Structure 1
């Protein structure tokens, strides 16, 4: 079936996950296939929605954003999820939002320049969102790993 991914597709994904800007010729060389095959397979995976784009991996601390904070949010009511997510999405410093099971209803990742910026963001943006009952904050001391799954064999 042409919509299924095979070992070649997984190899291409693994190579591109290391460097999404790698050209097809280099991907082909590493995968042991032709550049045309890489192009065709990559287009197929984009059409299937497997590849949703390419992103940069930034070191925020080198850009002056010294704090990464995770927030565990409790909602007043489960039905308020969509409106809370919409409001969180409007906060530029919010970079990831996860609907979660377990202790929290929503788990959020944000970046802030420093503790003053974080306090301002927390008090003037996040706490004012209607539907949030309570928040627990977790400050990241260091990110030691950030990777994609290796789809290789």
Structure 2
């Protein structure tokens, strides 16, 4: 799908504030409400816009500790990948999980209320997975940049 300048502007606006009304978006892009609505619906149907979410402040909700874990599996076999991924999807502490290239198989992003809670997650859940051979934890000391905005 080709995006024109108006589509790009719509996407920029809703990435910054998904609560904007059709009327507010239409005003900012100098179109009437009907074509603005039609464009947004088309972007949704084409799955350029996947979903609308609310971003919560994890620190204010009691999860200030963030940890990146690099994980190596015991064997690089399909059944082990499947088992690991199924388990990770069940852990609410894990907010991101990616298969990566290099020295590790996975990189996960974990949040916790404190070091004790992370240690409990590490010992009772993560290291208890039979397929996990090695875990390297990196603790976030300060966030320099955090965004969900995709450059257009």
Question: Do Structure 1 and Structure 2 share a fold, with TM-score over 0.5?
Answer: yes
Q: Give unpaired runs (5+ residues) of structure 2.
A: none
Q: Distance in 1 between matches of 2:132 and 2:16?
A: 37
Secondary structure at the aligned position of 1:63 is classed as coil
Match of 1:21 in 2: 19
1:32 to partner: Cα distance:
2.4
Match of 1:106 in 2: 106
User: TM-score when scaled to structure 2?
Assistant: 0.90
1:13 to partner: Cα distance:
0.9
What aligned pairs does 1:24-103 form with structure 2 within 5 A after superposition?
24-78=22-76, 79=78, 80-103=80-103
Q: Distance in 2 between matches of 1:108 and 1:95?
A: 8
Q: Distance in 2 between matches of 1:37 and 1:108?
A: 41
Q: Distance in 1 between matches of 2:52 and 2:84?
A: 27
Match of 2:151 in 1: 150
1:28–1:146 distance in 2 versus 1, CA, 3 Å: farther
1:18 to partner: Cα distance:
0.5
Q: Distance in 2 between matches of 1:82 and 1:50?
A: 28
Secondary structure at the aligned position of 1:56 is classed as coil
1:92–1:109 distance in 2 versus 1, CA, 3 Å: same
1:29–1:103 distance in 2 versus 1, CA, 3 Å: farther
Select between 11-20 and 34-43 the one with higher mean Cα deviation: 34-43
Q: CA RMSD in A?
A: 1.5
User: TM-score when scaled to structure 1?
Assistant: 0.89
Number of aligned pairs? 149
Select between 94-103 and 114-123 the one with higher mean Cα deviation: 94-103
Match of 2:119 in 1: 119
1:97 to partner: Cα distance:
0.9
Q: Give unpaired runs (5+ residues) of structure 1.
A: none
Secondary structure at the aligned position of 2:60 is classed as helix
